């Protein structure tokens, strides 16, 4: 009996120690994973804005993130925006509760620093303080505003949409007039050598410089990609003197309003990305204009 008890206690202690070790390892690796993901997103955003190791971003460049929530009160739905604001020289947040028509119903002050807002759990904790039951809320999405000094230079929009196989996750950059500055494919599982080519410069760079008016009617065409255009699109392969400024500008003007040339043997994937980008831009432009109007009408001191 004593031997059984000794073995039981020994196994229990061993299990507890193993659980503690595994828990510690998970915590450390999870933090490292989140940090790596965060740094990858940061590098992607800088790349979309044209910055690199050889052309570093200026120190005054800032990224301001706005988080969108869906708020429910019984059968009534609201839009909620967690917006960075400046107050007494410091940056905090305000939560704007809008009805579906875009009218402000309530403005809340949220005591939360930008570095804390990165964590979803911190945002939820702060929102639970102001949105009391029976109100419930769910995170919808977010977007980032790139600010250089006092000038807004770009919107950076994470998003995902259905591809041919599964979902395609992207990061889209728009200038203040909603013209596309860049597109990065963050994650995809399309067929290698076919739909998987959506990650290539000669495909994703076709979206660059497309103005807002053109995006609404953008479609995929099944024609061979012109060789001069492909060379222009594959910017990482450029050699010094390959194009003159005049040639670059001529090609930009020539193809700025062109439709998207389909990938060979992967028209469905090409359409999936094209339609996904179109929907992202149209929805974002509508929501952003609505939010800007409310911020202006209420004289909210936004950090951007």
Per-residue pLDDT reduced to its tens digit, 121-172: 999 999 999 999 999 999 999 999 999 988 999 999 999 999 999 999 999 9
DSSP, collapsed to helix, strand or coil, labels residue 177 as coil
Q: How far is CA 99 from the centre of its chain?
A: 24
> How does pLDDT run across 251-272, given as a tens digit for each residue?
999 999 999 999 999 999 999 9
Q: What is the percent of the chain with per-residue pLDDT over 90, rounded to a whole number?
A: 83
Res 175: pLDDT = 98
- Alpha carbons 150 and 107: distance in angstroms, whole number: 24
Average pLDDT of the chain, as a whole number: 92
* Confidence (pLDDT) at 232: 97
pLDDT at 14: 67
Helix (H) or strand (E) holding 81: strand 76-87
**For 81-122, what is each residue's pLDDT tens digit?**
999 999 888 999 999 999 999 999 999 999 999 999 999 999
- Give the C-alpha separation, 43 to 229, whole Å: 27
CA distance 268 to 105: 43
> Which one, of 204, 186, 216, 182, lies nearest residue 263 by Cα?
204
Neighbours of 206 (CB within 10 A): 25
C-alpha span between 84 and 301 (Å, rounded): 9
Q: Which of 42, 205, 144, 39 is nearest to 51 (CA)?
A: 42
Q: Which three-class secondary structure state does DSSP give residue 228?
A: helix
Query: What is the C-alpha separation between 71 and 95, in angstroms, rounded?
Result: 11
Q: Which helix (H) or strand (E) holds 290?
A: helix 267-297
Residues 4-20: pLDDT tens digits? 767 767 666 666 676 67
CB atoms under 10 Å from CB of 278, counted, come to: 18
Closest CA to 165 of 189, 143, 147: 189
And the tokens for 85?
């604001």
């Amino acid at each position: 009996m004593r031997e059984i008890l000794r073995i039981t206690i020994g196994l229990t202690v061993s299990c507890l120690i193993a659980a503690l070790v595994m828990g510690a390892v998970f915590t450390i690796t999870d933090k490292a994973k989140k940090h790596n993901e965060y740094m990858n997103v940061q590098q992607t955003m800088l790349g979309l804005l044209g910055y690199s190791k050889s052309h570093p971003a200026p120190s005054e460049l800032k990224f301001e993130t706005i988080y969108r929530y869906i708020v429910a009160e019984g059968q009534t739905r609201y839009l909620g925006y967690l917006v960075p604001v400046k107050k007494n020289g410091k940056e905090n947040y305000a939560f704007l509760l809008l009805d579906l028509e875009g009218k402000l119903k309530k403005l809340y002050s949220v005591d939360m620093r930008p570095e804390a807002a990165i964590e979803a759990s911190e945002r939820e904790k702060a929102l639970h303080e102001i949105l009391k039951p029976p109100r419930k809320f769910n995170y919808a999405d977010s977007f980032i505003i790139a600010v250089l000094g006092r000038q807004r230079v770009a919107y950076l929009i994470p998003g995902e949409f259905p591809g041919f196989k599964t979902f395609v996750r992207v990061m889209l950059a728009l200038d203040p007039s909603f013209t596309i500055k860049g597109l990065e494919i963050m994650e995809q599982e399309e067929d290698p050598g076919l739909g998987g080519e959506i990650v290539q410069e000669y495909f994703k760079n076709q979206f660059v410089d497309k103005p807002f008016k053109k995006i609404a009617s953008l479609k995929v065409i099944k024609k061979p990609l012109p060789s001069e255009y492909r060379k222009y699109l594959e910017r990482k392969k450029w050699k010094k003197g390959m194009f003159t400024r005049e040639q670059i500008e001529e090609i930009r003007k020539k193809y700025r309003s062109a439709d998207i040339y389909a990938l060979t043997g992967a028209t469905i994937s090409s359409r999936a990305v094209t339609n996904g980008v179109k929907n992202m831009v149209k929805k974002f432009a509508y929501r952003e204009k609505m939010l800007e109007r409310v911020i202006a009408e209420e004289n909210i001191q936004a950090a951007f």
